Amino acid sequence: DILKNNHPNGEMLVFENAGHGIYDEDPERFFSVLKNFIKTLPKIKSGDIEIFKTSLVEWKKALESSPDYIIESTGWGRNSNKILVRSYSREWLEQFEVPRQLLKMGFALYDFEKYEDALLSFEKMEAAAEEKNDRQYMSIAIIWQGHMLDLMGKRKDAISRYKKVVAMNLDFSPSHGQYGMRYSVTPYARERIKSPFKRIENRQVD
């Protein structure tokens, strides 16, 4: 009934022995039906075609300027992070809900010494990971919060973050290839309680 109401002039044809690929399973009949259907379509005005083309240009422009598109279309190296940081605004952090995206944004901000904003990104990452009950991403987020706080000279706050990771008692070893880092989160957090994080550079170009 819904289909009938939405397409009052439509005609339903059933392909008895076809699944998801009717153009493969019964191509002769399918394309015959499609050809007949196309013949019934009204002619489109050239002006309407131009309006549609213009709308596609605007749609593409909006898509390519969206935070999701920018962060997913760039790599993890310094050149990509430069693009991210140039486009970044704090409002982006409210739009990202995927821990991986917030990790990537945090790394980009860290690379260009924007530690306060990087801290905000890692804090949002922790919240996003907690919502998904992803303790591994949570531990990474908290460790990198500690790193940013160390670099900002807030050692007491950094230590509290590292202690939080130790208390999680996870057996998990993430790696960040662009920094040449691989660590086991619990022992690593214990090390950072004893000595502060020292800045390391991104070795990856793109």
Q: How is residue 191 written in tokens?
A: 């090390």
Residue 57, amino acid: V
How does residue 19 score in pLDDT terms, banded at 50, 70 and 90?
low
Per the CB < 8 A criterion, the answer to whether 92 and 67 are in contact is yes
The span from the CA of 165 to the CA of 135, in Å, is 10
Helix (H, G, I), strand (E, B) or coil at 39: helix
Per the CB < 8 A criterion, the answer to whether 74 and 51 are in contact is no
pLDDT of residue 37: 85
Per the CB < 8 A criterion, the answer to whether 72 and 114 are in contact is no
The span from the CA of 196 to the CA of 154, in Å, is 10
Map tokens 């002039």 to a residue: 9
Backbone angles phi, psi at 175, to 5 degrees: -135, 145
Q: Does the pLDDT of residue 138 top 90, yes or no?
A: yes
Q: How is residue 35 written in tokens?
A: 């050809």
Q: How is residue 145 written in tokens?
A: 């919060």
pLDDT of residue 192: 99
Per-residue pLDDT reduced to its tens digit, 69-82: 999 999 999 999 99
Per-residue pLDDT reduced to its tens digit, 27-68: 888 888 889 888 888 888 989 999 999 999 998 988 998 999
How does residue 6 score in pLDDT terms, banded at 50, 70 and 90?
confident
pLDDT of residue 18: 66
